[in-house]
């Protein structure tokens, strides 16, 4: 059992922290910007809650965080009430936020200067993956630090892998989101085409999902897409944040992402339709717009 803190109790962090407590059996203290949510978590799972990130991180072996973006990460890490102000020497900060690789390298350098360890560890699998403890975790950091942290991370994961030095986890997550953007657009176009052709989408998918066209998106989203239901899963506004990170990194490393840039524009149109919080599969709604 380790002494653990978890910072950020959104739709992902709340169940992730719960798995660390219940499945992992760790001593968990949480912090959330809205204190009532941290108190609710503590009552539900039997852990502790703190008034500041610094207080939550005090004396912990591992400090996890899962917040919104680069600015949110900096707001809970730095400052008099931040995580770094409360961490003990030798403790490990694990960032599950999807953020920039640049920030990951910055945090790794600062942590090293202060006698801490750092792992960037963005996740994939969405809310369902978090609730079921079945996330894929892509890590960047030192091998020894990863080896020590992996058994703890596995409380909420089905797959945990070290991709390379600090920042590599975030870069891997960018590749993940680039793949998803193209897959969802392709699936949306296929379903729209099939609907216009008068085909039975369920019958079609039952066949093509078993061949080269098959994907997680097809298996898990075709039914709700065909029914026009988008009130679940990973929100469009979150995907646009992630794609913005991908496109910014592509400028830095000289990559060309024409399809990703186009799909990001399509998501902007979905937002303009009122779909900011719709699931990312709502690209089909844009194609079916009259």
179-201 pLDDT, tens digit each? 999 999 999 999 999 999 999 99
Q: Active-site residue 173, yes or no?
A: yes
Q: With contact defined as beta carbons under 8 Å apart, do 4 and 60 qualify? A: yes
Averaged pLDDT, 218-241: 95
Please classify residue 143 by burial: count the beta carbons closer than 10 Å to its beta carbon, then call 0-12 exposed, 13-18 middle and 19+ buried. exposed
Residue 197, number of CB atoms within 10 A of its CB: 8
Pick the catalytic residue from 21, 58, 117, 173. 173
**To 5 degrees, how large is the angle CA 60–CA 38–CA 88?**
15
pTM reported for the whole predicted model? 0.95
pLDDT at 94 over 70: yes
Interatomic CA distance for residues 28 and 41, integer angstroms: 11
Q: Please compute the mean of the pLDDT values over residues 14-27 and round it to a whole number.
A: 98
| Residue 99, CB-side half-sphere exposure with 13 Å CA sphere | 27
Q: Which two tokens stand for residue 2?
A: 């380790």
With cut-offs at 50, 70 and 90, classify the pLDDT of residue 290.
Answer: low
pLDDT, mean of residues 103-117 = 98
Q: What is the reported pLDDT for 233?
A: 82
Cβ proximity of 153 and 146 under 8 Å: no
């Amino acid at each position: 059992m380790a002494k653990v803190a978890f910072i950020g109790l959104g739709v992902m962090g709340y169940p992730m922290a719960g798995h660390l407590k219940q499945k992992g059996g760790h001593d968990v203290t949480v912090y959330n910007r809205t204190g009532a949510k941290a108190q609710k978590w503590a009552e539900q799972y039997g852990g502790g809650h703190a008034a500041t990130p610094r207080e939550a991180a005090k004396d912990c072996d591992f400090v996890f965080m899962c917040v919104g973006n680069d600015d949110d990460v900096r707001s809970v890490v730095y400052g008099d009430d931040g995580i770094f102000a409360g961490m003990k020497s030798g403790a490990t900060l694990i960032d599950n936020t999807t953020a920039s690789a640049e920030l990951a390298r910055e945090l790794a350098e600062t942590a090293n200067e202060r006698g801490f360890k750092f792992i960037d560890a963005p996740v994939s699998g969405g809310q369902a993956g978090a609730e079921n403890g079945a996330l894929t975790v892509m890590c960047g950091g030192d091998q020894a630090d990863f080896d020590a942290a992996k058994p703890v991370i596995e409380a909420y994961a089905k797959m945990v892998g070290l991709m390379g030095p600090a920042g590599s986890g975030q870069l891997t997550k960018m590749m993940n989101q680039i793949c998803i953007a193209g897959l969802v657009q392709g699936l949306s176009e296929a379903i729209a085409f099939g609907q216009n052709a008068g085909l039975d989408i369920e019958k079609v998918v039952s066949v093509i999902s078993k061949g080269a066209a098959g994907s997680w998106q097809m298996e898990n989203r075709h039914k709700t897409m065909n029914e026009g239901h988008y009130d679940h899963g990973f929100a469009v506004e979150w995907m646009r944040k992630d794609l913005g990170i991908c496109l910014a990194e592509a400028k830095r490393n000289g990559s060309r992402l024409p399809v990703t840039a186009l799909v990001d524009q399509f998501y902007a149109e979905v937002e303009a339709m009122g779909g900011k919080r719709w699931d990312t599969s709502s690209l089909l709604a844009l194609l079916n717009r009259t």
